[in-house]
Structure 1
Amino acid sequence: MAKPTKISPFHLPSILRLEKNPLLALDLFRNPNPSPSTSNTPRFRYSARSYDLIITKLGKARMFPEMEEVLSQLLLDTRVSPREPLFCHVISFYGRARMADRAHRTFDQIPSFRCPRTIKSFNSLLDAFLQCRNLEAIRSLIRDADAGEFNPDACTCNILIRAFPDSAWFLFDEMRKRGIPPTVTTFGTLIAILCDKSKVHDAFRVKEMMLNSFNMKPNAHVYTTLIKALCNKNELDLALKLKEEMLSDKELGLDSAVYSTLIRAMFRAGRKGEVVDILEEMKKNGVKPDTVAYNAMIAGFCTDEKDFDAAFEVLNEMEKNGRKPDVVSYNTIIAGFCKEGRWREAYDLFDDMPRRECRRDVVSYRTLFEGLCNAREFKEAVLVFDEMLFKGYVPRVESLKKFLEGINGEGDKVSVESALRRLVEANALELSVWEKAVGDVLKDSQQVKIAELVDSLSLD
């Protein structure tokens, strides 16, 4: 029997990189050579790259206790001097997980890892605070930077502009006063802010400023933002003109997102006939429709055209082209059926989703439940309601109110009490929700009875 090949510190990073399962990667990192050790066995020498790989894998998988364990090991491993990008990644992982305190603690600990801090990790922390919407922490951090530890750069300013959109132009002027040259991202952020405020023509002026005053070409993100804003304002011809401008620049790749936006806008504008031309253009330019593009067509047929047969044809086309319909695809059709009062067809598709290998989500349940309540099909709604709560989902307050009004109006007091009991047991009925859902539905004597029930169950 051949002896297993011994893993060296040099080879460990390559093996860790190939291992997709973070748990298996961690086991491998902890014990690269699982042979019995003796007092003479030298301690395994981990490289900085091995630490980078395992910490990044664990952070992406949100296995934070395990990641912290490896970081503690790295702290004590004085033979290794980690580089700042590793800590930038860790701070970002915590930011995406909305764990601002841990992100800040990581930033504070960087020097103890034998690694100097620069504006890069400072910016990572700023961005983490922004993801956590902790604006006061951002203000505090900027005051520290102004005290002299770090010199803000363009990335710092771009994060601040995103954090404080109402002060965007003041911050932009401050950049220029400090001699910090704006980047394409700076202009992209300013344009996105203006588009969010429906100031599309001002956004175009910023685009012209990029070109004429700063000799900077807009990137695909800038064009996509402007096209989406124009479509939202129903200025489809201008959006199409901008799309042609993108096509004329070979460096700008037109992706499925732009085409999806245009397809949806064409349906809304009653220009369904032009969708075929867009699909042909996509094919000609080598852009394959993705799930988002197909969903835009499904939404158009369901919402604007009320053509459900065509929507199902798109579903079939998706599968034929190797694009699996997702929960948005089905929810869109279910919502369309419910809006048209065709609750039986909505229910059939809802029931068929597991067979189609698509898991129903909270939107699926809420949409069908609301459709059944609107159609006053309360017996069917009770079944969906029970399954919702079993799955851990809760109806919207207005739907719940309509549901309680309906079953109470039919004289089914037992079902009303049962529904409220289920909501309390599922810890899904807050006092404010209870008052809004029940206040106008039950008589005073019934409300007192249900309130006593809520109190008794809450105390259990």
Structure 2
Amino acid sequence: MSSVVRQLHRVFSASQPAAAAAAAAAAATATARTTLTSTKVRKLLDSLERSLKPPSGQFRRQSRVLEAVHKLSSAGHTSLVDEILRDQKQRIGPESELFAAYLIELYGAAGMFDLARELFDEMPNLNCPPTIRSLNSLLQACVKSERFNEVERLVRDLPVMLSLEPDLVTYNILVGSYCRAGSIDRALLVIDEISEKGLQPEAITFTPLLVFFYRSGRFKEGDHIWDLMESKNITLNATTYHIKLHAMVSHDKLADAVELFADMEKKSVIPDVYCYNALIIGFCRKEDSEEAKNWYQKLVKSSCSPDFVTMSMLIPFFRKKNDLDMVYVLCTDLMSMSFRISPHLVQRVVDDLVQHSKLELAEELVKLSSSDSNSRYNLKIPSVSR
């Protein structure tokens, strides 16, 4: 065991029982089931079928596919998801392992690990022998189905049975699984094993450890992991930083978060929208409208763009502050963006502008919303103003 990791084991060993208890309590918490109308279920099923059966006969990984699977399964419609995915098995054959692996991951996204394993075991009979790629997809399905205790057994048994060599992705998944289960000591042992296998860990290898410690407010242990990454010459990226930034904001360390953001820029790490959002959220919680505005302007001038979280946070915040000029700027910016926030919220902005004798600005927003790309907002001037 390396001296650095050995030291980490000593640092963390005293806190393992509490961590395990916390993880067990979290696992025992039932997830509230969502409800969907029959029309919404039909739309999601249609979207899923279209995405899996494009005219070209090929497939592309699309976020809306995972979103549809997650929504349907969360609403208790796993049997419908299974029916669609089973229908896709006929497309599996020689040179289609990537598609088979994709279906395995979709089963995992729906929380149906047993069916993911069933498909994995069927692959040889479908003339599509599994490689480490599809094994890794099976491991991901196991993690997404929250069957953390089974991941270690799969990593130990399946490569031997199938004559496969685990790769870095395999070990990264195992690290993440142990962290989700609260078994940090085991996760650290995997870090050792990665080096012993001659593999080079990367930032994503350590990400679950950073998430575990920083989100729970254990900054000392999180910083040990951070230092370990730097000692291994692993490049700290925007994802690494935004994990720590969000944790600092959540634990009332906003000044430290601002300093960390400055450190990131000094080290030429390009911030992503999540980094900016962390500080925007922090200053909104502090009721500091000037700093919230300042960080939004920095975001707009950066190489990334505001997202759903940015606008959903700032528009209500500046409405509350009665800064309608800023709200108007935000809404005009929103009209050029591809995502949609609540149309009711944007309509209330129009109502506020009219109520405060800013009819010209209200009419401009309504005009912007009349374009094809923004018709989903369907804004109107309140009749009382006419």
Q: TM-score range by the shorter chain?
A: 0.5 to 0.7
The TM-score with structure 1 as length reference comes to 0.56
Contact 1:130 1:138 in 2 (8 A): no
1:4-403 alignment, distance < 5 Å? 100-101=54-55, 103-104=56-57, 125=58, 127-128=59-60, 143=90, 151=94, 154=97, 157-162=100-105, 164-165=107-108, 166=112, 167-176=115-124, 181-211=129-159, 213-214=161-162, 216-232=164-180, 235=182, 237-238=184-185, 240-302=187-249, 304-353=250-299, 357-363=302-308, 364-389=310-335, 395-397=341-343, 399-400=345-346, 403=349
Count of aligned residue pairs for this structure pair: 314
Contact 1:372 1:380 in 2 (8 A): yes
Q: Following the alignment from structure 1 to structure 2, what is the Cα–Cα distance between the partners of residues 180 and 392? A: 39
Q: How far has the Cα of 1:352 moved from its partner? A: 3.5
Q: Following the alignment from structure 2 to structure 1, what is the Cα–Cα distance between the partners of residues 330 and 347? A: 15
Q: How far has the Cα of 1:244 moved from its partner? A: 3.2
Q: Following the alignment from structure 2 to structure 1, what is the Cα–Cα distance between the partners of residues 266 and 127? A: 55
Q: Following the alignment from structure 2 to structure 1, what is the Cα–Cα distance between the partners of residues 345 and 186? A: 38
For the pair shown, which has the larger CA radius of gyration, 1 or 2?
1
Q: Following the alignment from structure 2 to structure 1, what is the Cα–Cα distance between the partners of residues 184 and 224? A: 14
Contact 2:176 2:208 in 1 (8 A): yes
* Equivalent residue, structure 2, for 1:110: none
CA distance 1:306–1:414, shift in 2 (3 Å): same
Q: Following the alignment from structure 2 to structure 1, what is the Cα–Cα distance between the partners of residues 299 and 94? A: 54
Contact 1:247 1:254 in 2 (8 A): yes
Q: Following the alignment from structure 1 to structure 2, what is the Cα–Cα distance between the partners of residues 393 and 177? A: 43
Q: Following the alignment from structure 1 to structure 2, what is the Cα–Cα distance between the partners of residues 267 and 406? A: 40
The letter of the residue matching 1:317 is D
- Structure 2: 5+ residue stretches without partners: 1-50, 69-80
Q: Following the alignment from structure 2 to structure 1, what is the Cα–Cα distance between the partners of residues 144 and 214? A: 22
The letter of the residue matching 1:292 is T
Q: Following the alignment from structure 2 to structure 1, what is the Cα–Cα distance between the partners of residues 339 and 126? A: 51
CA distance 1:180–1:313, shift in 2 (3 Å): same
* Equivalent residue, structure 1, for 2:40: none
Q: How far has the Cα of 1:346 moved from its partner? A: 0.8
Q: Following the alignment from structure 2 to structure 1, what is the Cα–Cα distance between the partners of residues 224 and 286? A: 29
CA distance 1:240–1:403, shift in 2 (3 Å): farther
Q: How far has the Cα of 1:406 moved from its partner? A: 5.2
Contact 1:236 1:265 in 2 (8 A): no
Q: How far has the Cα of 1:345 moved from its partner? A: 0.8
Q: How far has the Cα of 1:323 moved from its partner? A: 1.9
Contact 2:273 2:306 in 1 (8 A): yes
Paired residue secondary structure (1:385) = helix
| Percent identity for Structure 1 against Structure 2 | 17
1:443-454 alignment, distance < 5 Å? 446=384
CA distance 1:138–1:278, shift in 2 (3 Å): closer
- Structure 1: 5+ residue stretches without partners: 1-96, 105-124, 451-460
Q: How far has the Cα of 1:272 moved from its partner? A: 0.5
Q: How far has the Cα of 1:250 moved from its partner? A: 3.6
* Equivalent residue, structure 2, for 1:426: 371
Q: Following the alignment from structure 2 to structure 1, what is the Cα–Cα distance between the partners of residues 238 and 134? A: 30
The TM-score with structure 2 as length reference comes to 0.65
Contact 2:241 2:264 in 1 (8 A): yes
Contact 2:264 2:271 in 1 (8 A): yes
Q: Following the alignment from structure 1 to structure 2, what is the Cα–Cα distance between the partners of residues 378 and 345? A: 17
CA distance 1:139–1:198, shift in 2 (3 Å): closer
Contact 2:353 2:362 in 1 (8 A): no
Contact 1:291 1:323 in 2 (8 A): yes
Contact 1:263 1:278 in 2 (8 A): yes
CA distance 1:182–1:372, shift in 2 (3 Å): same
The letter of the residue matching 1:198 is E
Q: Following the alignment from structure 2 to structure 1, what is the Cα–Cα distance between the partners of residues 160 and 90? A: 34
Paired residue secondary structure (1:295) = helix
CA distance 1:270–1:175, shift in 2 (3 Å): same
Q: Following the alignment from structure 2 to structure 1, what is the Cα–Cα distance between the partners of residues 280 and 334? A: 16
Contact 1:365 1:388 in 2 (8 A): yes
Q: Following the alignment from structure 2 to structure 1, what is the Cα–Cα distance between the partners of residues 97 and 336? A: 50
Q: Which moved more, 1:317-326 or 1:182-191?
A: 317-326
CA distance 1:261–1:370, shift in 2 (3 Å): farther
